[in-house]
């Protein structure tokens, strides 16, 4: 077997384990703590894992990093397991955010060679870059001083962080080259699609991550009511089903009946309180 083929079948087991739904393996692992069940999960989930890793390789032009990105995906699965409960729905959709986060953590250190040593420092870098964007990417003394005061770092350190942050925005080459499904190599000018501009992707991902975190800081009923009323999946934030049809939105009357509330106004107030909690959490994270 060639080296690249071994990377595709890294988690294949011989003999093949008994086949079960993927969710069953996860629940057995959580109940028993036996890593064998997670190994069985990876055996059957590996084809999807390969597709995920290949997608990231192509999206970020990370040729030669397939095995490492695949390992980052597995790390994301393990990290998702730490906060997962059956009541939160199927595990695989639930884990997508942590998988994306783990891959981004890998890419931000490997793409440019710039590393952030701790999660706290990375959080400060994200905050600095967000403030930097709010001030129209101006690196004058006034802007640097404002950011330094906000994150409690010296101006010299802030300038260093901004340089590193700008490097990490260069996730995508001007041209990306990779083989298509037929094995033919092609080149794509990524500047043709302005929505794929690295800086736009960077801040969109940051915004999505922050929203995901504050949303999941709400209690279960608040998350369920908001997602039903606004029409999105509470785990992956999708607004369409598998047939690409928009998800149904529930009225306050529907929510009243679901939760046995006294009136539609009570349901409305509950949704508004949840939104206010999210707003406050976002402001506190700046």
Least confident of 49-53, 70-74, 112-116, 271-275: 112-116
Per-residue pLDDT tens over the stretch 123-173: 677 788 778 877 777 778 888 999 999 888 888 888 887 876 665 554 433
User: How high is the pLDDT of residue 27?
Assistant: 94
Structure tokens at 269: 């107030």
Whether 200 has a pLDDT exceeding 70, the answer reads no
- Asked if pLDDT for residue 278 goes beyond 60, the answer is yes
Residue-averaged pLDDT of the chain: 78
Strands 185-189 and 175-179, by their bridges, are antiparallel
DSSP per-residue codes, 190-241: GGG-GGG-HHHHHHHHHHHHHHHHHHTTS-HHHHHHHHHHHT--TTT--SB-
Backbone angles phi, psi at 111, to 5 degrees: -70, -40
Provide mean pLDDT across the span 101-114: 69
Among 16-30, 91-105, 243-257, the range with the most confident prediction by mean pLDDT is 16-30
84-100 residue pLDDT tens: 988 888 999 999 889 98
115 versus 276: the higher-pLDDT residue is 276
Q: In this predicted structure, what is the pLDDT of residue 175?
A: 36
Cα end-to-end distance, the chain, whole Å: 51
Query: How confident is residue 240, by pLDDT bands cut at 50, 70 and 90?
Result: confident
Cβ atoms within 10 Å of 205's Cβ, excluding its own: 14
* Count helices and strands in the chain by DSSP H and E runs: 12, 2
């Amino acid at each position: 077997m060639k080296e690249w083929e071994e990377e595709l079948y890294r988690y294949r087991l011989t003999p093949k384990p008994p086949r079960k739904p993927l969710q069953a393996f996860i629940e057995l692992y959580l109940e028993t703590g036996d890593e064998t069940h997670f190994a069985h999960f990876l055996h059957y989930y590996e084809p999807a894992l390969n597709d995920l890793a290949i997608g990231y390789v192509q999206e970020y032009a990370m040729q030669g990093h397939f095995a490492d990105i695949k390992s980052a995906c597995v790390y994301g699965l393990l990290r998702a397991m730490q906060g997962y409960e059956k009541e939160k729905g199927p595990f695989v959709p639930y884990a997508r955010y942590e998988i994306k986060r783990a891959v981004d953590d890998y890419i931000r250190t490997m793409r440019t060679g710039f590393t952030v040593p701790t999660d706290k420092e990375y959080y400060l870098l994200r905050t600095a870059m967000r403030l930097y964007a709010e001030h129209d990417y101006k690196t004058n003394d006034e802007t640097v001083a404002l950011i330094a005061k906000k994150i409690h770092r010296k101006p010299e350190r802030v300038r260093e962080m901004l340089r590193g942050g700008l490097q990490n925005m260069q996730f995508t080459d001007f041209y990306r080259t990779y083989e298509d499904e037929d094995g033919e190599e092609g080149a794509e000018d990524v500047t043709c699609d302005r929505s794929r501009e690295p800086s736009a992707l960077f801040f969109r991902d940051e915004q999505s991550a922050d929203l995901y975190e504050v949303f999941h800081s709400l209690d279960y009923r608040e998350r369920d009511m908001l997602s039903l009323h606004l029409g999105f999946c509470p785990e992956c934030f999708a607004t369409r089903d598998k047939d690409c049809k928009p998800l149904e939105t529930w009225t306050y009357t529907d929510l009243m009946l679901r939760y046995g509330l006294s009136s539609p106004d009570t349901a409305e107030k509950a949704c508004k309180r949840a939104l206010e909690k999210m707003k406050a959490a976002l402001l506190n994270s700046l």
